[in-house]
Chains A and B, each alone.
Chain A
Amino acid sequence: MKRATPAGIGVLLFTSFCFLCSAQTKPEKKDVAPVYGELEKAPAKYRAKVNPFEKDPQAVAAGKILFEEHCAECHGKNALGTNKAPSLRAEEVQVAPPGSLFWILTNGIVRKGMPVWSKLPEPQRWQLIRYIKSLGSADSTANKTDAKP
């Protein structure tokens, strides 16, 4: 059997890769309501959790850095959402119990593109939530100001 040449392997790789990229989630405006609905699915024991960093004056600053490092790419640098992920300043997120957000961060919404973030230690997840909550709600019309063209 003829051996595959490196160039052949490269072409195969590149073609496969283009297919993969085009097959991934399309950057279209999404109906975000079902995504926010995931917050309702948090088990009661999670919903009842209190953010241990609620009174930590450094938590917002630390959460902001973590947000920029891990979340801003999809949710936008102002958390107003992009074509890839919804706004975190929507009313649904801002009024949700911190424990529900913690549950979403821990479990992701894997089938809808939100990765699992359990690899971030628990304190960092809580710091992130503290930051997100500090942003407050934004008018839904501003939702796309941070969206990519």
Chain B
Amino acid sequence: MKRSRFTQLYGLLFWAILPVAGASALAAQENPYIVAYDHNLEEPGSLEIEYFSTFGTQRGGPDFHAFWSEFEYGATAWWTTEFYLSGQTTSGESTVFTGYRWENRVRPLKNEHWINPVLYVEFEDINGADKIMKEVEGHDVESDYLVPNAVARQERKREVELKLILSTNYKGWNFTENTLAVKNLSNEPWEFGYALGASRPLTLKGAAQKCNFCLQHFIAGVEMYGGLGDRYSFGLHETSHYLAPGLVWNLPSGWTFKIEPTFGLNDNSHQFLLRWGVSYEISGFGQKVSQLFKGKSE
């Protein structure tokens, strides 16, 4: 796919969002995870627009830069839905659009508990050149990513991904555990994976004056994730695993910046990935769009 397709798609989304650009921003309280999810959902009616980037080195192959945009919307206080577009550039090869994802997260319990479950369902329509590594599953290993773009993009993957997210907020800390199962709809076996995370704001008290650099706006954490094989060969054999310390800066203006150097933990993993992201949260987005179609609210 050519770059012009990106331009068309992003142009369309831009024009869709422009009419409600007057909606106000909301300070986000994001955790520093890029792969793991916690049980904190998007506020109802808020839209978070995110851009993420992964720079990766590969033994025996060229470096790559994978990137994706997320449009995360709080449909209700218990349901968040999200749409992704992804692409990648491999050094010396090409830039390719690699597909889209649509995910939904639902809180089945209405109150906060010691462990809070969230159910996650995602459909993805991507090609074999996808390198965003939003999840690591099955027997994903570094050498899978050495296939040239021209060949890899011919492979089409339509997958359903299910996750059970178990997360706890305790004394300022967040601990989360994700178990995932992925099914390629073209008659391939279920694949499994995991992600673990822990994070904490640098200080728990709010400051008495407005500030962008107060420690309360910074949350540090670490996540670990990897594959667990598939239905026929479950376990750690020929799987890759990563450890990633991260830092997020949640600005009161609604902007959020994340950075996460990622280290491979075994020979099947990429040795190093640098991941970062920026996002902006628009509160009241749903209501603004609703007004566009219904006229003035009472």
Could you tell me which A residues sit within 8 Å of B by CB distance?
Answer: 4, 6-7, 9-11, 13-14, 17-18, 20-29, 58, 61-63, 65-66, 69-70, 73, 83-84, 106-116, 118-124, 127, 148-149
Shortest CB distance A115–B (Å): 5
Which residue on chain A has the smallest CB distance to residue B74? Answer: A115
Shortest CB distance A118–B (Å): 4
Chain B positions within 8 Å of A127 at CB level: 205-206
- Give the contacts of B116-147 with A (CB-CB under 8 A): 125
Shortest CB distance A132–B (Å): 14
B209 at the interface (CB under 8 A from A): yes
Q: How many residues of B contact A (CB 8 A)?
A: 62
B78 in contact with A111 (CB, 8 Å):
yes
Separation of A62 and B12 alpha carbons in the complex (Å): 41
Known: A6-B5, A62-B208. 11 other contacts (CB 8 A): A9-B100, A13-B83, A17-B73, A18-B293, A21-B45, A22-B293, A25-B76, A62-B207, A119-B38, A121-B201, A148-B297
B169 at the interface (CB under 8 A from A): yes
B164 at the interface (CB under 8 A from A): no
Separation of A6 and B100 alpha carbons in the complex (Å): 9
Which residue on chain B has the smallest CB distance to residue A106? Answer: B112
- Give the contacts of B14-47 with A (CB-CB under 8 A): 16, 24, 26-27, 29, 31, 38-41, 43-45
- Given A27-B297, A65-B210, A115-B44 in contact, is the A122-B171 Cβ separation under 8 Å? yes
Chain B positions within 8 Å of A4 at CB level: 125
Pairs A–B under 8 Å by Cβ, sample size 27: A4-B125, A6-B12, A7-B12, A10-B8, A10-B9, A10-B12, A10-B16, A13-B16, A14-B16, A18-B289, A18-B293, A20-B75, A20-B286, A22-B289, A23-B75, A24-B44, A25-B45, A29-B298, A69-B26, A107-B110, A115-B43, A119-B29, A119-B31, A121-B204, A121-B216, A122-B204, A149-B297
- Given A69-B27, A84-B287 in contact, is the A20-B81 Cβ separation under 8 Å? yes
B287 in contact with A27 (CB, 8 Å):
yes
Separation of A112 and B78 alpha carbons in the complex (Å): 10
Chain B positions within 8 Å of A20 at CB level: 73, 75, 81, 286
Shortest CB distance B199–A (Å): 10
Could you tell me which B residues sit within 8 Å of A by CB distance?
Answer: 5-6, 8-9, 12-13, 16, 24, 26-27, 29, 31, 38-41, 43-45, 71, 73-78, 81, 83, 97, 100, 107, 110-112, 125, 169, 171-172, 174, 201, 204-210, 216, 252, 283-287, 289-291, 293-294, 296-298
Q: Among A7, A110, A112, point to the contact of B8 (Cβ < 8 A).
A: A7
Which residue on chain B has the smallest CB distance to residue A83? Answer: B297
Chain B positions within 8 Å of A149 at CB level: 296-297
Q: Among A24, A109, A115, A123, point to the contact of B204 (Cβ < 8 A).
A: A123
Chain A positions within 8 Å of B290 at CB level: 21-22, 24, 26-27
Separation of A20 and B78 alpha carbons in the complex (Å): 14
